[in-house]
A and B are shown apart, each in its own frame.
Chain A
Amino acid sequence: MPVDFMYPEYEIARNDSRCIRCRVCERQCANEVHSYEESGNFMLSDESKCVNCHRCVSLCPTRALKIVKSDHCFKENANWNQAAIKEIYKQSGSGGVLLSSMGNPERYPVYWDKMLINASQVTNPSIDPLREPMETKVFLGKKPERIERGPDGSLRNNLTPQLELAMPVMFSAMSYGSISYNAHESLARASRELGIFYNTGEGGLHEDFYQYGENTIVQVASGRFGVHREYLEAGAAIEIKMGQGAKPGIGGHLPGEKIVGDISKTRMIPEGSDAISPAPHHDIYSIEDLRQLVFSLKEATQYKKPVIVKVAAVHNIAAIASGIARSGADIIAIDGFRGGTGAAPTRIRDNVGIPIELALASVDARLRDEGIRNNVSLVAGGSIRNSADVVKAIALGADAVYIATGALLALGCHLCRSCQSGKCNWGIATQRPELVKRLNPDMGFRRLVNLLTAWNHEIKELMGGMGINSIEALKGNRLMLRGTGLNENELGILGISHAGE
């Protein structure tokens, strides 16, 4: 039908006076946008296939290429905007659910950007991290209610298993399958180098990566793919995934064409079969069931590993977290509605869940009100974009944060949000060997290490400015934050004052 015709969103602008016909763009585009016309010695572009991933732009040696937003437009309409109209055409053509990747891109408030950080002036000194020790090490896990002493009066170490992080940032769950082997290798090696953790996601753990077990969090999700005894024992902690910020309330679906070779082996499912994770865990229909799974996993690993429960930030998150804090879990990970995904139904990604800032603030406050904040550590995820976001999250009450989109960007991702196509030109969200090899883990891991090393420096600078020399003194220290442009309700939920107050 002619109505299904969509004018491409992007145009490829080639500066022909710079183009040397090296054809790198053509070789590097898995979407086959570029082609060379021998007879006339010119390059052709089919912008309808372009996802705007910038692979060609980044590799063009003469900067002859750029991608521009098409100025082709629908008749202006503030209500029926271009995206809304196009989606109608798409769905009336296909009859299918719209799919998207990465985090919610819509114009909801980003509360990180509405909070400002304090600094010392006169009445107490700022601390120079270049001259004084500045500590960012954190321990995650339950803290003891009371101390215990041995017969000689010395303190007994009655701590349950803890995770020790050199800095309060971890890589959140991304499965082998949704991202490539090389992406996983980069994350695993970077975690070891940085003294932090990465997370297997629900894809099992490739046997090559058992060596990074001390820096690995192994996930148990509703499909239980890749879960077996050695897997549970391989990691430093076990995460039960109840939900994901990008798609609260629904499960996952890795299409059969991605279940090939090692991925099928690692997930323990036949090649070519769809890996469908159910929406709920079918053995968890209530909080008491969660408690059973928490303790089953602890039994299976002789109570040697902390258990994390990951939930999506939804309306009733404070009460949910309070339940989890009493379930025997050691750590709660909350994933905000801007968290990324390899694929999610567009409507869900863009309309379900709440911002992590509000969820985190209300969970931390609720757990303190109930006197159970020490039962668990809190990890916040769902679009932590930089070190200032990390500092703000910790000041709101997080023990640490999870990052994933940021880590993928460090590996080359350009947020083209086409992961579901499996043709990632940067070798991340793909299983095609010729694309996977585009991500060299020697370089990828170094970039991740660089990124977090830079963040750690910045966190220390920000802490020093506040006169704080250990990150634990920042946790929940909401006096260090002020809001701008927030209403009373928002300030109340965040538990902060307005700037100037």
Chain B
Amino acid sequence: MLKENLNGKEGQIRIPSGCAIAGLFSRSGKSVSGETIVNAMTVMHDRSNGLGGGFAGYGIYPQYKDLYALHVFYNNVSAKEECEKYIDKAFEVINLSRIPIRKTPRITDEPLIWRYFVAPHHNKLMDSQLDEDEYVVRAVIRINTSFDGSYVFSSGKNMGSFKAVGFPEDVGTFYRLDEYEGYCWTGHGRYPTNTPGWWGGAHPFSMLDYSIVHNGEISSYDANRRFIEMYGYKCTLLTDTEVITYIVDFLTRKQALTLTEVADIIAAPFWSTIESKPPKERERLTYLRNAFSSLLITGPFSILLGFSGGMMALNDRLKLRSMVVAEKGDMVYAASEEAAIRMMEPELDRIWSPMGGEPVIVTLEGGAEQCR
């Protein structure tokens, strides 16, 4: 079920939603089954309404870890043929297949769901004068904006997003996540206040290896959207997650800022807090708030940002959405509710609620693969 045959018109109007999120991360890079994160989402069933659920896993494609894994929804065969022509032109396709699913009566109307392991076509990449990542980003944006009936919903290396219209636990079953293993998982259950969600509109939203699950409704949306669209991004879904992902991509990949600096921009401290800091820190925070003022995000949000080798949990500056973080050995957990964490690990070393605007960043021991 893709956007053009949907009454809900996702991408044409903005739909606020409430949500549940959860995440797990192994600092030692230990592989954890996707089943764990699905179980965590199950106990937060009431935070979703069956109109969207999804997961992102990192380290799940070790055999293809140097290739971009494109996950694509197709409306029908002709859309697929059309889009594949483009994919073939732009990329070397090393492997392609349907993404394996397990039929369940609770997930219906599924589109064609395909996966491609690709590398940018060497000559095309040279001609474009872009770096590899930017090349892939532009191709993905191209498909999502100009190929009717095709939608790339995951495009990172050694990671993948899986999402659908349904309750998260059913989405996990549908995509057979128990058959995947990764060092990091994030999960999302959606509670849109509007008409049925569209498969592409479910979370996580990803761009390259960034994936975001988010609970909240940001009040700064249009200020952020109109700013970020100046830099080549197109917000086609009109969802918060989409714009937040682009912001993170812009600040980390294009501006080369660290994740802590990103948090200081998007969930900036209040001026009164900044005033109370020592002069150097005050100048740094003032600079970031001033130079990137249009990327401040207001309104409630709790997000889990997954990236290669790391995960960041962040709340809005007033902490208007719940989020709990916990540790046990090398494992780090985060979720909207403590119950979900206890489901993953009943005996915890430490559990706490991070302050509003205070990021919790975890990376693989010995440095993240690609910690930006």
Q: Which of B223, B284, B287 contacts A475 (CB 8 A)?
A: B223
B294 adjacent to A475 (CB under 8 Å): yes
A139 adjacent to B290 (CB under 8 Å): yes
- Please tell me if B352 contacts chain A, counting CB pairs below 8 Å: no
* Known pairs A123-B217, A139-B293, A155-B261; A473 contacts B298 (CB<8 A): yes
- Please tell me if A349 contacts chain B, counting CB pairs below 8 Å: no
Q: How far is the CA of A125 from the CA of B356 in the complex (A)?
A: 15
Chain B residues near A159 (CB, 8 Å)? 287, 290-291
In the assembled complex, the CB of B103 is this many whole angstroms from the nearest CB of chain A, namely: 34
Q: How far is the CA of A368 from the CA of B300 in the complex (A)?
A: 26
- Please tell me if B28 contacts chain A, counting CB pairs below 8 Å: no
Which of B83-91, B93-101, B138-146, B227-235 participates in binding chain A? B227-235
A143 adjacent to B290 (CB under 8 Å): yes
* Known pairs A139-B290, A143-B290; A127 contacts B220 (CB<8 A): no
Q: How far is the CA of A162 from the CA of B219 in the complex (A)?
A: 27
Q: Which of A137, A472, A476 contacts B226 (CB 8 A)?
A: A476
Q: Which of A125, A157, A479 contacts B300 (CB 8 A)?
A: A125
Residue interface bits A136-168, CB-to-B below 8 A is 1, else 0 = 011100011011000000110101001000000
Q: Nearest B residue to A367 by beta-carbon distance?
A: B230
In the assembled complex, the CB of A351 is this many whole angstroms from the nearest CB of chain B, namely: 33
* Known pairs A124-B16, A135-B271; A472 contacts B296 (CB<8 A): yes
A472 adjacent to B294 (CB under 8 Å): yes
B298 adjacent to A470 (CB under 8 Å): yes
- Please tell me if B11 contacts chain A, counting CB pairs below 8 Å: no
A472 adjacent to B231 (CB under 8 Å): no
Q: Which of A120, A154, A397 contacts B219 (CB 8 A)?
A: A120
Q: How far is the CA of A371 from the CA of B300 in the complex (A)?
A: 29
In the assembled complex, the CB of B365 is this many whole angstroms from the nearest CB of chain A, namely: 22
A466 adjacent to B219 (CB under 8 Å): yes
In the assembled complex, the CB of A296 is this many whole angstroms from the nearest CB of chain B, namely: 27
- Please tell me if B318 contacts chain A, counting CB pairs below 8 Å: yes
What's the tally of chain A residues with a CB closer than 8 Å to chain B?
40
Chain B residues near A146 (CB, 8 Å)? 255
Q: Which of A154, A368, A473, A478 contacts B296 (CB 8 A)?
A: A473
A127 adjacent to B318 (CB under 8 Å): yes
Chain A residues near B224 (CB, 8 Å)? 473
- Please tell me if A468 contacts chain B, counting CB pairs below 8 Å: yes
B222 adjacent to A479 (CB under 8 Å): yes
A374 adjacent to B287 (CB under 8 Å): no
In the assembled complex, the CB of B49 is this many whole angstroms from the nearest CB of chain A, namely: 13
* Known pairs A155-B287, A479-B222; A469 contacts B227 (CB<8 A): no
- Please tell me if B348 contacts chain A, counting CB pairs below 8 Å: no
Per DSSP, chain A at the interface is loop
Q: How far is the CA of A373 from the CA of B225 in the complex (A)?
A: 13
* Known pairs A147-B256, A147-B257, A473-B223; A124 contacts B283 (CB<8 A): no
Q: How far is the CA of A159 from the CA of B220 in the complex (A)?
A: 24
Q: Which of B70-122 contact A (CB under 8 A)?
A: none
Q: Which of A155, A470, A478 contacts B222 (CB 8 A)?
A: A478
Q: Nearest A residue to B193 by beta-carbon distance?
A: A123
Chain B residues near A155 (CB, 8 Å)? 261, 284, 287-288
Chain A residues near B29 (CB, 8 Å)? none
A473 adjacent to B230 (CB under 8 Å): no
Chain B residues near A147 (CB, 8 Å)? 255-257, 291
Q: Nearest A residue to B287 by beta-carbon distance?
A: A157
Q: Nearest B residue to A480 by beta-carbon distance?
A: B222
Chain A residues near B261 (CB, 8 Å)? 155
Q: How far is the CA of A133 from the CA of B14 in the complex (A)?
A: 28
B219 adjacent to A473 (CB under 8 Å): yes
* Interface core residue of B226, B268, B317, B318 (most chain A CB under 10 Å): B226
A137 adjacent to B271 (CB under 8 Å): yes
In the assembled complex, the CB of A301 is this many whole angstroms from the nearest CB of chain B, namely: 21
B216 adjacent to A124 (CB under 8 Å): yes
- Please tell me if B8 contacts chain A, counting CB pairs below 8 Å: no
Q: How far is the CA of A470 from the CA of B316 in the complex (A)?
A: 12
* Known pairs A124-B320, A467-B219; A143 contacts B297 (CB<8 A): no
Chain A residues near B299 (CB, 8 Å)? 120, 124, 467-468, 473
- Please tell me if A132 contacts chain B, counting CB pairs below 8 Å: yes
- Please tell me if B18 contacts chain A, counting CB pairs below 8 Å: yes
B255 adjacent to A123 (CB under 8 Å): no
B221 adjacent to A477 (CB under 8 Å): yes
- Please tell me if A474 contacts chain B, counting CB pairs below 8 Å: yes
In the assembled complex, the CB of A142 is this many whole angstroms from the nearest CB of chain B, namely: 10
* Interface core residue of B14, B216, B230 (most chain A CB under 10 Å): B230
Chain A residues near B268 (CB, 8 Å)? 470
B290 adjacent to A368 (CB under 8 Å): no
A374 adjacent to B230 (CB under 8 Å): yes
Q: Nearest A residue to B226 by beta-carbon distance?
A: A476
* Known pairs A147-B257, A476-B227; A467 contacts B193 (CB<8 A): no
Q: How far is the CA of A147 from the CA of B261 in the complex (A)?
A: 11
Q: How far is the CA of A155 from the CA of B283 in the complex (A)?
A: 10
Chain A residues near B221 (CB, 8 Å)? 477, 479
Q: Nearest B residue to A138 by beta-carbon distance?
A: B293
- Please tell me if B7 contacts chain A, counting CB pairs below 8 Å: no
Q: Nearest B residue to A501 by beta-carbon distance?
A: B13
Q: How far is the CA of A99 from the CA of B16 in the complex (A)?
A: 54
A123 adjacent to B18 (CB under 8 Å): yes
Q: Nearest A residue to B13 by beta-carbon distance?
A: A501
Q: Nearest A residue to B218 by beta-carbon distance?
A: A124
Chain B residues near A479 (CB, 8 Å)? 14, 221-222
In the assembled complex, the CB of B191 is this many whole angstroms from the nearest CB of chain A, namely: 9
- Please tell me if B129 contacts chain A, counting CB pairs below 8 Å: no
Q: Which of B238-272 contact A (CB under 8 A)?
A: 255-257, 261, 268, 270-272
Q: How far is the CA of A157 from the CA of B283 in the complex (A)?
A: 8
Chain A residues near B220 (CB, 8 Å)? 468, 473-474, 477
In the assembled complex, the CB of B24 is this many whole angstroms from the nearest CB of chain A, namely: 27
Q: How far is the CA of A474 from the CA of B224 in the complex (A)?
A: 9
Q: Nearest B residue to A397 by beta-carbon distance?
A: B226
Q: Which of B269-319 contact A (CB under 8 A)?
A: 270-272, 283-284, 287-294, 296-300, 317-318
* Interface core residue of A135, A144, A368, A472 (most chain B CB under 10 Å): A472
Chain B residues near A120 (CB, 8 Å)? 219, 299
B230 adjacent to A371 (CB under 8 Å): yes
B270 adjacent to A472 (CB under 8 Å): no
The 12 sampled A-B contact pairs (Cβ below 8 Å) are: A123-B217, A124-B216, A124-B219, A124-B299, A125-B300, A467-B217, A467-B219, A468-B299, A473-B296, A473-B297, A477-B222, A480-B222
Seed contacts A473-B223, A476-B222; 19 additional CB < 8 Å A-B pairs: A123-B16, A124-B16, A125-B300, A133-B270, A135-B270, A135-B271, A139-B290, A146-B255, A155-B261, A159-B290, A368-B229, A467-B219, A467-B298, A467-B299, A468-B298, A468-B299, A469-B298, A473-B297, A475-B294
Chain B residues with CB under 8 Å of chain A are 14, 16-18, 193, 216-224, 226-227, 229-231, 255-257, 261, 268, 270-272, 283-284, 287-294, 296-300, 317-318, 320
Please name the 8 residue pairs, one residue from A and one from B, whose CB atoms are nearest each other, closest first. Answer: A473-B220, A467-B219, A479-B222, A477-B223, A472-B293, A123-B16, A124-B217, A473-B298
